[in-house]
Amino acid sequence: MALLRAATWKLSPWRGYCSRGSQVWCGELSQGFVEALKAVVGDPHVSTAASVREHHGHDESMHRCQPPDAVVWPQNVDQVRRLAALCYSQGVPIIPFGTGTGLEGGVCAVQGGVCINLTHMNRIMELNMEDFSVVVEPGVTRKTLNMHLRDSGLWFPVDPGADASLCGMAATAASGTNAVRYGTMQDNVVNLEVVLPDGRLLHTHSPTLCISGPRKSAAGYNLTGLFVGSEGTLGLITSATLRLHPVPEATVAATCAFPSVQAAVDSTVQILQAAVPVARLEFLDDVMMDACNKHSKLDCPVAPTLFLEFHGSKQALAEQVQRTEAITQDNGGSHFAWANEAEKRSQLWAARHNAWYAMLALSPGCKAYSTDVCVPISRLPEILVQTKKELRASRLTGSRIVGHVGDGNFHCILLVNPDDAEEQTRVKAFAENLGRQALALHGTCTGEHGIGLGKRQLLHEEVGAVGMETMRQLKVTLDPRGLMNPGKVL
Amino acid sequence: MALLRAATWKLSPWRGYCSRGSQVWCGELSQGFVEALKAVVGDPHVSTAASVREHHGHDESMHRCQPPDAVVWPQNVDQVRRLAALCYSQGVPIIPFGTGTGLEGGVCAVQGGVCINLTHMNRIMELNMEDFSVVVEPGVTRKTLNMHLRDSGLWFPVDPGADASLCGMAATAASGTNAVRYGTMQDNVVNLEVVLPDGRLLHTHSPTLCISGPRKSAAGYNLTGLFVGSEGTLGLITSATLRLHPVPEATVAATCAFPSVQAAVDSTVQILQAAVPVARLEFLDDVMMDACNKHSKLDCPVAPTLFLEFHGSKQALAEQVQRTEAITQDNGGSHFAWANEAEKRSQLWAARHNAWYAMLALSPGCKAYSTDVCVPISRLPEILVQTKKELRASRLTGSRIVGHVGDGNFHCILLVNPDDAEEQTRVKAFAENLGRQALALHGTCTGEHGIGLGKRQLLHEEVGAVGMETMRQLKVTLDPRGLMNPGKVL
pLDDT in tens, B411-421: 999 988 888 88
Contact B286, B299 (CB under 8 A): no
Q: What are the C-alpha distances in Å from B360 to residues A164, B352, B417, B428?
A: 54, 14, 11, 18
Check B216 against A449: CB less than 8 A apart.
Answer: no
Check B218 against A459: CB less than 8 A apart.
Answer: no
Tell me: pLDDT of A35 over 90: yes
Residues of chain B contacting residue A241, judged by C-beta atoms under 8 Å apart: none
How far apart are alpha carbons A278 and B154 in whole angstroms?
18
Q: Which residue of A has its CA nearest to B188?
A: A187
Check A214 against B274: CB less than 8 A apart.
Answer: no
Q: What is the mean pLDDT of residues A272-276?
A: 86
Check B451 against A128: CB less than 8 A apart.
Answer: no
Percent of residues in chain B assigned helix, strand, coil, to nearest 5: 40, 20, 40
Q: What are the C-alpha distances in Å from B232 to residues B163, B221, B404?
A: 19, 20, 25
pLDDT of residue A146: 98
Q: Which among B200, B225, B378 has CB closest to A131?
A: B378
Instruction: Report the b/e string of A163-192 with b at 16+ CB within 10 A.
Output: ebbbbbbbbbbbbbbbbbbbbbbbbbbbbb
- Alpha carbon A383 to its chain centroid, in Å, reads 22
Q: Which among A216, A372, A463 has CB closest to B407?
A: A216
Contact B156, B142 (CB under 8 A): yes
- Per-residue confidence band for B27, with pLDDT thresholds at 50, 70 and 90: low
Check A175 against B477: CB less than 8 A apart.
Answer: no
Q: How buried is residue A94: exposed, middle or buried, by Cβ count under 10 Å (0-12/13-18/19+)?
A: buried
Tell me: pLDDT of A19 over 50: no
Contact B78, B62 (CB under 8 A): no
Mean of pLDDT over chain B: 89
How far apart are alpha carbons B131 and A52 in whole angstroms?
47
pLDDT of residue B15: 31
Tell me: pLDDT of B3 over 70: no
Q: How buried is residue B148: exposed, middle or buried, by Cβ count under 10 Å (0-12/13-18/19+)?
A: middle
pLDDT of residue B211: 61
Q: What are the C-alpha distances in Å from A447 to residues A378, A409, A459, B379?
A: 16, 6, 12, 36
Q: What is the mean pLDDT of residues A30-45?
A: 97
Nearest CA-CA distance, residue B472 and chain A, Å: 10
Q: Which residue of B has its CA nearest to A407?
A: B215
Highest-pLDDT range among A302-306, A417-421, B295-299: A302-306
Q: What is the mean pLDDT of residues B369-393?
A: 91
pLDDT of residue B419: 87
Tell me: pLDDT of A362 over 80: no
Strands (E), B258-392: 278-284, 305-312, 334-339, 367-370
Helices assigned H by DSSP within B149-260: 166-171, 179-182, 185-188, 223-227
- Per-residue confidence band for A447, with pLDDT thresholds at 50, 70 and 90: very high
- Mutation test of the interface with chain A: which of B231, B442, B489, choosing the one with the most A Cβ atoms within 10 A? B442
- Per-residue confidence band for B19, with pLDDT thresholds at 50, 70 and 90: very low
Phi, psi angles (nearest 5°) of residue A140: -80, 125
Q: Which among B131, B184, B217 has CB closest to A444?
A: B217
How far apart are alpha carbons B194 and A450 in whole angstroms?
24
Helices assigned H by DSSP within A313-445: 314-330, 342-353, 355-361, 380-393, 421-440
pLDDT of residue A207: 60
Q: What are the C-alpha distances in Å from A405 to residues A310, A411, A447, B214, B435?
A: 15, 10, 11, 11, 43
Single out the residue of A445, A439, A379 nearest to residue A412, CA to CA.
A445
- Per-residue confidence band for B23, with pLDDT thresholds at 50, 70 and 90: very low
Q: Tell me the one-letter amino acid at B14.
A: W
How far apart are alpha carbons A398 and A400 in whole angstroms?
7
- Per-residue confidence band for B397, with pLDDT thresholds at 50, 70 and 90: low
How far apart are alpha carbons A189 and A172 in whole angstroms?
12
Tell me: pLDDT of B346 over 90: no
Check B464 against A225: CB less than 8 A apart.
Answer: no
How far apart are alpha carbons B86 and B33 in whole angstroms?
9
Q: Which among B131, B205, B444 has CB closest to A219?
A: B444
Q: What are the C-alpha distances in Å from B209 to residues A460, B118, B476?
A: 16, 18, 26
pLDDT of residue A211: 61
3-class SS at B195?
strand
Q: Which among B130, B230, B246 has CB closest to A221?
A: B230
Nearest CA-CA distance, residue B49 and chain A, Å: 33
How far apart are alpha carbons A157 and A178 in whole angstroms?
6
What does the pLDDT look like over B199-216, one tens digit per residue? 999 999 876 656 667 888
What does the pLDDT look like over B124-162, one tens digit per residue? 998 998 889 999 999 999 999 999 999 999 999 999 989
Chains A and B form CB pairs within 8 A to the count of 297
Contact B297, B310 (CB under 8 A): no
What does the pLDDT look like over B176-207, one tens digit per residue? 889 999 999 999 999 999 999 999 999 998 76
Tell me: pLDDT of B7 over 50: no
Tell me: pLDDT of B410 over 80: yes
Q: What are the C-alpha distances in Å from A314 to residues A319, A324, A328, A340, A372?
A: 9, 15, 21, 11, 34
How far apart are alpha carbons A190 and B37 in whole angstroms?
43
How far apart are alpha carbons A193 and A177 in whole angstroms?
26
Tell me: pLDDT of A7 over 60: no
Nearest CA-CA distance, residue A404 and chain B, Å: 11
Phi, psi angles (nearest 5°) of residue A54: -60, -45
Element (H, E) at B81: helix B77-90
Residues of chain B contacting residue A457, judged by C-beta atoms under 8 Å apart: none
B45: which residues sit within 8 A by CB, 6+ positions away?
Answer: B38, B72, B73, B74, B75, B120
What does the pLDDT look like over A208-265, one tens digit per residue? 656 667 888 999 999 999 999 999 999 999 999 999 999 998 999 999 999 999 999 8
ipTM of the complex: 0.92
What does the pLDDT look like over A378-400, one tens digit per residue? 899 899 989 989 998 888 867 78
Positive or negative: CA dihedral B342, B348, B354, B358: positive
pLDDT of residue A27: 66
Mean of pLDDT over chain A: 89
How far apart are alpha carbons A375 and A442 in whole angstroms?
7
CA angle at A204 for the pair A199 and A210, rounded to the nearest 5°: 100
Check A214 against B408: CB less than 8 A apart.
Answer: yes
Give percent of chain A above pLDDT 70.
93
Positive or negative: CA dihedral B453, B456, B462, B463: positive
pLDDT of residue B213: 76
Q: Which among A172, A202, A245 has CB closest to B470?
A: A202
Q: What is the mean pLDDT of residues A30-56?
A: 97
What does the pLDDT look like over B270-317, one tens digit per residue? 998 888 889 999 999 998 888 888 888 888 899 999 999 999 988 889
How far apart are alpha carbons B386 and B391 in whole angstroms?
9
Q: What is the mean pLDDT of residues A430-446?
A: 95
Tell me: pLDDT of A434 over 90: yes
Residues present in chain B in total: 490
pLDDT of residue A449: 96
3-class SS at A197?
coil
Strands (E), A32-112: 46-47, 70-72, 94-97
Check A467 against B175: CB less than 8 A apart.
Answer: no
Check B376 against A128: CB less than 8 A apart.
Answer: yes
- Per-residue confidence band for A13, with pLDDT thresholds at 50, 70 and 90: very low
